[in-house]
Structure 1
Amino acid sequence: MTQITPAPLSVSDPAEAEFQQSLAAALDDANLPTLLAAVVQLTGDLSLLEGKFRPTAMRGPGDHDDGGMPDDVRAELRTLAFDVVLAHRRGELPDAPPLTPEQVLHVLSRCLDEEVPSAQGGMLAEELGALSRATPVIDTASGQRAPHVLVVGTGFSGLCAAIRLDEAGVPYTIIDKNPDAGGTWHENVYPGCGVDTPVHLYSYSFAQRADWPRYFAKQSEVEGYLLDIATSYGIRKRVQFGTELETAEWIEDRQHWRVTLRRADNSTHTAEYPVVITAVGLLNRPAYPNLDGLDSFTGPVVHTGAWDPGIDLANKRVAVIGTGASAMQLVPAIAGTAREVTVFQRSAQWIMPNPNTTRGVEPAKQFLMAEFPGYLAWYRLQQAWKFGDRLHPMLRIDPEWPHQDRSINSENERHRKFLTRYIEQKLADRPELIDKCVPDYPPYGKRPLLDHGWFDALLRDDVALVDEGVSHIDGQRVVTSSGAEHEVDVIVLATGFQTLNMLAPMEIHGRDGTTLRESWGADDARAYLGMTVPNFPNMFILYGPNTNAGHGGSHVLSVEMQVRFVLQALERMAKRNLSSIECRQEVFDAYNGEIDAALDGSIWTHTGMTTYYRNSKGRIVTNTPWTNADYWHRTRRLVAEEFIERTRDQ
């Protein structure tokens, strides 16, 4: 590696001298495509993107730190970056004009050596901060009255809503069933629990963090981030913890929601709020399998979504039922602690390799993210594209593609071959495992998973993979569908969440008395833009039906879009003295018809696998058929004509 030797400078300030030495050392470990983008933004010199500094395309997963540049060009770029930052610190660098959305796309496209579609421009410019994602502010000085809002939940969605309500001057009450903030990141504490999205992306655009210790954070680190957010924004002290929404009833003559809140001590009380925002998400109620004999199992039974931190797995024979996201993280974490781990798999999973999955963030990169203007923002933006909408084409079924049993289009097939080779390479020493681990359905048919050491764990002598479902439990034995018996001491249910039973167990009565559950049915939730339902005025659902980006990316991005949309509705209520705002039925129907038609051409309709995305009738309930950018365009501006509005004097 070519080292940077700073030019002789007269630096009388020891702190400045130390900064320069630290900067020079950090630049030797910089991600050069990110560094180039930050330098271009600081200088406004777009010509730097052409010629010798232009990175090559990334091959395979990872960050492509060297950008494919020769050694001498890398050294020249680092020296240029060093000089630019020092000039910026001294005030000698003229302020560059803000980048337009088109320029943001141009910089990103050149630094990744691939063309990012023009439709991405506005959304990515917001993510970068080149465009504002600010939400409306209520003008109380002119007599505008904002309605009081009840926010349910303090995970990513609830905290984002509370922060924006505070900024807008909207009064609110916020509750959470747990004893502290964090939502699913407070509840899920099973060994190995962490994110499957790069954590620099899996965070708020307005509260980015430079000192993440890992590229893919563990549960405690994400929970700590959310607790810090809740504390620093003054939300945590306002939350009514140990409180959940039991019922909500719309009172038409008062234009209010009458709610029943249940405390941790099982006491209840009623209150009235003009507006209710639910922010409980999809992953908040564990799904328990209906297995005969499970209740009479003689040892501990624990669900990954309701983990008992006091459970002792040392020297125990542990059965893990399920091979979804939590199992992928749990098994590598407990292998070597338990005497034996037996994994029961109904179907194999496609698992993505990424060299950053188990890596810590290098101190040099943490320094650059904290001290080099724009470096963190551009690194985050690259992740937003690479882990998000870049993957969307793999989801669309090409009806002319001849191999529909194994893939759905040419790009999906290319990805299938890459992932199959990865599995074969990882399990080369155990060829009998390969057939068990290569799925027989197309990639992305189920939730994409990352390799957190899964295949390494399967290669251990004390880990066994049983590739058949569980029939029942007989005493201390797990019995499979073939009748094989496995004696175990502990059963771990890695069986996911009640994703289709949205907003359960809350009972919500609309304007005509119909409950939301009656309107939806048991597993067929629908909403306009995933947020609002006719007959349920002044109720907004965050991370609701068909808002999950099944192709990848950070759901925090979607949440920020949704919260901005909700704040526009509240601003309209304040400005126009509205008592209620409600989605029109015809708008709701047309939108859901469009959703269903688009989903009909998606990977999730493929009959070769089961997925929690799909309900009992085959409809996709959780996922959106569109790109994140499509959803950004749809939610950026509230269209008043799509809603029924009532004024306070009506």
Structure 2
Amino acid sequence: MPHSDQPTRTWSSMIYDHEIDELRHMEVICVGAGISGILTGIRLPQQIQNLELTIYEKNPEVGGTWYENTYPGVRCDIPSPGYQLTFESNSQWSEFYASGAEIQNYMVNLAKRYDVYRFCKFRRVVTAAKWLDGIGKWEVTCQNLETGESETDRCDVLMMGTGLLNKWDWPQIPGLDTFKGPKVHSARWDQSIELEDRDVALIGAGSTGIQILPAIQPIAKRVDHYMKGKNWISPVGIGGDELDRRNATEGNFKHAPEELDRFKDPKEYLKFRHRIENDIMKAPLAAFYGTEEQKQFHVMSKRFMEEKLANRADILNALMPDWTPGCRRLTPGPGYLEACCQPNVDYVSTPIKRIHEDSIETVDGQIRKVDVIICATGFDVSHQTGPKITGQRGQDLHKLWDPIPEAYMSTCPPCMPNMFIYFGPNGGPMTGSTILMLEWVCDFAIAAIQKLQREYIKSLVVKPEANQDFSRHVDKFFAKTVFTQPCNSWFKRGTKDGRVVANWPGSGVHSRKALLNPRWEDFDYELMPEIEGNRLGWLGNGMTVAQRDGTWATDYLDLKQYINRPKPVHPEVSVESPRSPKS
């Protein structure tokens, strides 16, 4: 009997008549079919029952940035063993730092192997997403690039896998549109452009320009390389310890056929992958300002550039920064400094004044004739691009993110229920592989979706105070790192002294520990109508689906359920041993 001063409640009417494991239908939309979308198309069907998944992609094929970027010299700056999914190893990478074409082939094969294509709708650009407060769903609008028509769809959960490196534009240089010869942006490379025996202008020396120059220098008649800022050119990329072990002085190496044959043994390749990824995971120590690792890396980087440019003090003075290595993303530059020193390369650090029909003029009055212009000028990383997203109570995500983009645990923006972002604000690895971090975000989203299903929750959204606390932690953390040194960096939205918004506050394995243990108390919840008024209504009628259907209800005995089976302290003692005599 209830206590006399408590209100009487008719609990029988508040019990939802369903089995506890009868999970509600979930509609999920993922925007983008790069590695994030591919991962979504593999993991969600595997781990979420009663699922309807749709992946919208603007291109005609999967792959994302690796589908779009086909410029000469494009490759990953992470060792190939670490730039792949944990559960799907490619033991046959031909090079230690894989080419873009080889990575794109890996992406396509992943999509084929797990039939991710069955979820994909290609040639669709998502233009808007709006949260419908009363219904508790997202309404997604996209443009069909084949027909030009607008299409709408709805979902319970919205996953954004568009990434950061996809919104490119021409640099704002007067006269660029008047140039009569071929011009191309690195993010939309035109394979028909002829560079042999041509005078080529390469504008930009970020991570892309650094890769393009060594690839085109041997074939071009002349290259004018325009560089307006300073940059550290790293002797090796992240995980470069293996280069030292093999004395690979060119900054990369091809795997010998006999080694690739040995790697066909999964155990052998796993050992190799452990070694390389452990090298990658040691890298964060050099990111903390003032540590011995950071100081040693600074000395090594300075010595490397001085040795490579010993006969070109003009380039060294124009290129070497006065800020610490790592403030901007480190890019290995195999062959770059050597290419800068070749007689057919003119390194131009003087700013461009104007582009004419057949030439480029710098502010010092010099005019250089040119046949082809290559713009390696990067992407818009402001977090202000992409579809218009409207959340709770009409909140505009772009306005919420101006001037500072924020997302709890890098993936849950404020006022955006049931929304998860891959590579959101502070969603990139401080050092290491982006792909691994995307896996942890996917696991986090899966856990949240399973909670929505299991407990009949209509929506979850991060609490404002939890979001603020995460942002405060991020700022406090990065204050002790090289990332806050005074340099213009896309880590800080292209500013010199801005807030670090690109990187996770810790190592890649640190993010895994955080994302695999969600703090559900940091979210606000709205329940489904079926259990409204009784937060435990999801317990249901006391039965399971197997009991209802008369099928086997003893799946708990299946050894596959015991992934974390305990290891005996005394394995010599058997539970089948005869009864011990009483002492």
TM-score band, normalised by the shorter chain? 0.7 to 0.9
Question: How far apart are the structure 2 equivalents of 1:642 and 1:217?
Answer: 40
- Correspondence 1:96-111 to 2 at 5 A: none
- Correspondence 1:150-549 to 2 at 5 A: 150-168=29-47, 169=49, 170-265=51-146, 266-354=148-236, 355=243, 357-371=251-265, 373-388=266-281, 390-398=282-290, 409-502=291-384, 504-521=385-402, 524-549=404-429
2:192 partner letter: G
1:500 partner letter: S
Q: How far off its partner does 1:146 sit? A: 4.1
Listed one character per residue, the Cα deviations across residues 516-553 of structure 1 (whole Å, up to 9, x for unaligned) are 001111x5321001101221101110111112124x21
Instruction: Indicate the larger mover: 168-177 or 507-516.
Output: 168-177
Listed one character per residue, the Cα deviations across residues 404-456 of structure 1 (whole Å, up to 9, x for unaligned) are xxxxx543232122122222332334454333343322111111111231122
Listed one character per residue, the Cα deviations across residues 23-70 of structure 1 (whole Å, up to 9, x for unaligned) are xxxxxxxxxxxxxxxxxxxxxxxxxxxxxxxxxxxxxxxxxxxxxxxx
What CA RMSD, in Å, does the superposition of the two structures yield over aligned residues? 1.9
Question: How far apart are the structure 1 equivalents of 2:503 and 2:351?
Answer: 26
Question: How far apart are the structure 2 equivalents of 1:377 and 1:640?
Answer: 34
Question: How far apart are the structure 2 equivalents of 1:449 and 1:315?
Answer: 28
Question: How far apart are the structure 2 equivalents of 1:149 and 1:243?
Answer: 16
Q: Specify the SS of the correspondent of 2:394.
A: coil
Query: Cα–Cα, structure 1 residues 140 and 481, in superposed 2: closer, same or farther, change >3 Å?
Result: farther
Q: Specify the SS of the correspondent of 1:595.
A: helix
Out of 491, 505, 516, the residue aligned to residue 636 of structure 1 is: 516
Q: How far off its partner does 1:474 sit? A: 3.3
Q: Specify the SS of the correspondent of 1:262.
A: strand
Query: Cα–Cα, structure 1 residues 624 and 482, in superposed 2: closer, same or farther, change >3 Å?
Result: farther
Question: How far apart are the structure 2 equivalents of 1:206 and 1:443?
Answer: 33
Q: How far off its partner does 1:311 sit? A: 1.6
Out of 574, 583, 592, the residue aligned to residue 462 of structure 2 is: 583
Q: Specify the SS of the correspondent of 1:613.
A: helix
Q: TM-score, normalised to structure 1's length?
A: 0.73
Q: Specify the SS of the correspondent of 1:457.
A: helix
Q: How far off its partner does 1:485 sit? A: 2.4
Query: Which structure has the larger Rg over C-alpha atoms?
Result: 2
Query: Cα–Cα, structure 1 residues 339 and 601, in superposed 2: closer, same or farther, change >3 Å?
Result: same
Q: Specify the SS of the correspondent of 1:171.
A: strand
Partner residue, 2:541:
none
Question: How far apart are the structure 1 equivalents of 2:348 and 2:322?
Answer: 17
Question: How far apart are the structure 1 equivalents of 2:346 and 2:272?
Answer: 39
Question: How far apart are the structure 2 equivalents of 1:472 and 1:501?
Answer: 30
Question: How far apart are the structure 1 equivalents of 2:328 and 2:32?
Answer: 27
Q: How far off its partner does 1:253 sit? A: 1.0
Question: How far apart are the structure 2 equivalents of 1:481 and 1:441?
Answer: 26
Partner residue, 1:610:
488
Q: Which one has more relative contact order, counting CA pairs under 8 Å at least 6 apart?
A: 2
Q: How far off its partner does 1:149 sit? A: 0.3
Query: Is the Cα contact below 8 Å between 1:423 and 1:437 reproduced in 2?
Result: no
Query: Cα–Cα, structure 1 residues 267 and 416, in superposed 2: closer, same or farther, change >3 Å?
Result: same
1:367 partner letter: D
Query: Is the Cα contact below 8 Å between 2:20 and 2:454 reproduced in 1?
Result: no
Instruction: Indicate the larger mover: 525-534 or 432-441.
Output: 432-441
Q: How far off its partner does 1:598 sit? A: 1.5
Listed one character per residue, the Cα deviations across residues 241-272 of structure 1 (whole Å, up to 9, x for unaligned) are 10121111111111111111111132111111
Q: Specify the SS of the correspondent of 2:490.
A: coil
Q: TM-score, normalised to structure 2's length?
A: 0.82
Gaps of 5+ in 1: 1-138, 399-408
Question: How far apart are the structure 1 equivalents of 2:477 and 2:381?
Answer: 21
Question: How far apart are the structure 1 equivalents of 2:271 and 2:88?
Answer: 15
Q: How far off its partner does 1:310 sit? A: 1.7
Gaps of 5+ in 2: 1-17, 237-242, 533-583
Identity score, percent: 27
Partner residue, 2:544:
none
Question: How far apart are the structure 2 equivalents of 1:347 and 1:322?
Answer: 9
Question: How far apart are the structure 2 equivalents of 1:192 and 1:451?
Answer: 11
